[in-house]
Structure 1
Amino acid sequence: MNSPEAAETRRRRGRPAAGDPERVALLALRRFASHGYESTTMEAVADLAGIGRRTLFRYFPSKPDLVWGGMEPVVERMHRVLDSPGADESTRDVIARAMSESLDLDPDTLEATRLRLRLMASDPALIAFGVLRLTASRDLLAEFLGRRLGADASELRVRVVADAISSANFSALLWWATNRDDDDPAAASVEALDALLGLHLP
């Protein structure tokens, strides 16, 4: 038995997916990559993970939710950095550190992140599905920038800068997933941050 399904069965026996939504998501993302997103049903994912359909839909109400899962820990780590910056850190350095620490991923999460981003990059509808989820990091940045600038987070200049940084970060991650083979997505995010902050248009 050397098929992809057999390999996944062996992995499943070594580390049960039941009770582990992140593991379920990784198995699903591998299946999407090998068999196609549209052609993979939620029933196939449940079977692959060795769980019931009800359990799967409790973890992830839809296939797009499977793709967009896993953002909460990233946002939480970013939150911790932005809420407790070093006394002497510049605004740029705090944001760069927030990006780096939020993207400090274990091997399985790194694989899942790359697969998620590659799938998003190939399907604009998936990006549209998750746009509201991106506002969590944007809002954190706006609150941080507001504190740094002595302004309200809802002010135009604060919101525009927060939107620009958040968009640059997401764009950099999509680019990393499809153009680089390294294990350092944060490097692409920080590179994009510096490109944005150093931009001088004629």
Structure 2
Amino acid sequence: MDDGEDQRQGARRGGRPRAASAQVLADAAAELFLEQGYGRTTVDQIAARAGVSRATFFNYFAAKSDVMWLDLDAAVHDIPSLLADSTEPSPVRAVEAALLAAAREHDPGRVPWAIGQADVMHVGEALVESVAARIMAQHDTIARFVAERTGEWPGALWPQTVAGAMLGAAAAAFGVWVRDGVRRGPLVEYVGAALTPVAAGLDAR
């Protein structure tokens, strides 16, 4: 069954007669997580609410937990290419610039609902696991970049230190930005304030 047929059937049964997209699926998931909790919501239910097929869901997301991080994933998508293209002599400053660029890319109007409403949605361990997986993926990317620049191997102390310190600061800034609610300013300002002293200290090595 193709997506067009999915959408036509969705319209007939009262579903959403809209084009399939990652955002539509993420919005449908958020509604269901609020209504019945994360654990009780299935991929099939999300797809049905969005008016598409299960196969269409997996065209956009590898797992149910991925719908929680649509905007964040989009923002960090270019970090590997930003690092690869960087002409900054200092690998620490190159990492800083890439993380700041990612922060600028994040839509300031879209705060991850999985964090803001985690208790209501009963996300629990899935939230922790999905966050950890994303941090580790970026950690590996940064460690490999620093290792290439310094001639070390990615598991060596310095690449691991740079990746851990810089990502830790950026993650802390992101958490504060989310919790600041209506008082929050642009994410890049938070990330910049967190990274500046860390990058300066590492770069002074």
TM over 0.5: yes
Q: After TM superposition, give the deviation of residue 137 of structure 1 in Å.
A: 1.2
Kindly indicate whether the alpha-carbon contact (under 8 Å) linking 2:146 and 2:154 is maintained by their aligned counterparts in 1. yes
Alignment match, 1:51: 52
SS of the equivalent of 1:86 reads coil
**Residues 198, 105 of structure 1: alpha-carbon distance in 2 compared, 3 angstrom cutoff:** closer
> How many angstroms does 1:138 deviate by?
0.9
Normalised to the residue count of structure 1, the TM-score between the two structures is 0.68
C-alpha displacement at 1:78, in angstroms? Answer: 1.0
**Equivalent position of 2:94 in the other structure:** 94
Identity %: 22
Q: Which moved more, 1:77-86 or 1:127-136?
A: 127-136
Query: Structure 1 residue 171 and structure 2 residue 169: aligned?
Result: no
Distance 1:58 1:123, change over 3 A: same
Query: For residues 19-70 of structure 1, what are the alpha-carbon distances to aligned partners after superposition, in whole Å with 9 as ceiling and x for unaligned?
Result: x1233113423553x5364376234422331113443355445432322455
SS at 2:94's partner residue?
helix
Output the aligned Cα RMSD.
3.6
Measured in 2, the distance between the counterparts of 1:120 and 1:189 equals 23
Contact preservation (8 Å) 1:21, 1:59: yes
Q: Which runs of 5+ in 1 are unaligned?
A: 1-8
2:38 alignment partner in structure 1: 38
TM-score by length of 2: 0.67
User: 1:76 corresponds to which letter in structure 2?
Assistant: H
The 1:61–1:158 alpha-carbon spacing in structure 2 relative to 1, beyond 3 Å, is closer
2:192 to 163, 167, 190: 190
Q: Which residue of 1 aligns with 2:81?
A: 80
Secondary structure of the 1:193 match is helix
**1:162 Cα deviation after fit:** 1.0
Gaps of 5+ in 2: 1-13
